[in-house]
Structure 1
């Protein structure tokens, strides 16, 4: 009886142990993929820091992309901290679809 339980225990460990290793590999692969908006997010943070040099960016959110035929707009919301206060800034980066040249960047400050 003890032998049967031991065999089942070892079999269970081998069976479930391998599946967790496979799941870890999937997570590692997913972390390596860079989202397509990453480039625009870096630009949004850099330009916002230029607009608000005394503030620290403490949070970042990609809202989405409005895709047009000639140009697109990548939208972000950044949360900044200055002294003892915090505020949000919506950043819209308008760029040419073919050349990816920036056409315009708009900033809109918000309390929420």
Structure 2
């Protein structure tokens, strides 16, 4: 009878530890704050530039399309969706900058219906 009781207690401990350890690992507070994506700085600039170019319209959506990099230049591309008084439309914005210095060299806008 004692063997069944010990066996049950061992099984119970294994089950408790199996469920408690992963919860502890996931729920433990730490210094691991979520990091900002690499494109976040350029996304803020894209929103500022679009708001300056279209001051009457409201930015209602934002998408990071991607990044292209060569030896000297990087291009961050974003698509923003704007809501105007009479229409909704998209603006694709390319921010060109020096890869080493991050100095902006050009900003291009293209309106789109999708």
* In structure 1, C-alpha distance between the alignment counterparts of 2:65 and 2:52, rounded to whole Å: 21
2:64 to 55, 62, 65: 62
Does residue 89 (structure 1) correspond to residue 103 (structure 2)? The answer is: no
* In structure 2, C-alpha distance between the alignment counterparts of 1:52 and 1:13, rounded to whole Å: 59
1:28-43 → structure 2 map (5 Å cutoff): 29=32, 32-43=34-45
Partner-residue secondary structure (3-state), 2:63 = strand
Give the aligned partner of residue 19 of structure 1: 22
1:70-81 → structure 2 map (5 Å cutoff): 70-81=72-83
Q: Cα–Cα, structure 1 residues 93 and 7, in superposed 2: closer, same or farther, change >3 Å?
A: same
Bigger radius of gyration among the two: 2
* In structure 1, C-alpha distance between the alignment counterparts of 2:85 and 2:76, rounded to whole Å: 29
As a proportion of its length, which structure holds more helix?
1
TM-score normalised by L of structure 2: 0.78
TM-score normalised by L of structure 1: 0.79
- Return the offset for 1:7: 7.5
* In structure 2, C-alpha distance between the alignment counterparts of 1:84 and 1:11, rounded to whole Å: 64
Unaligned runs of 5+ in 1: none
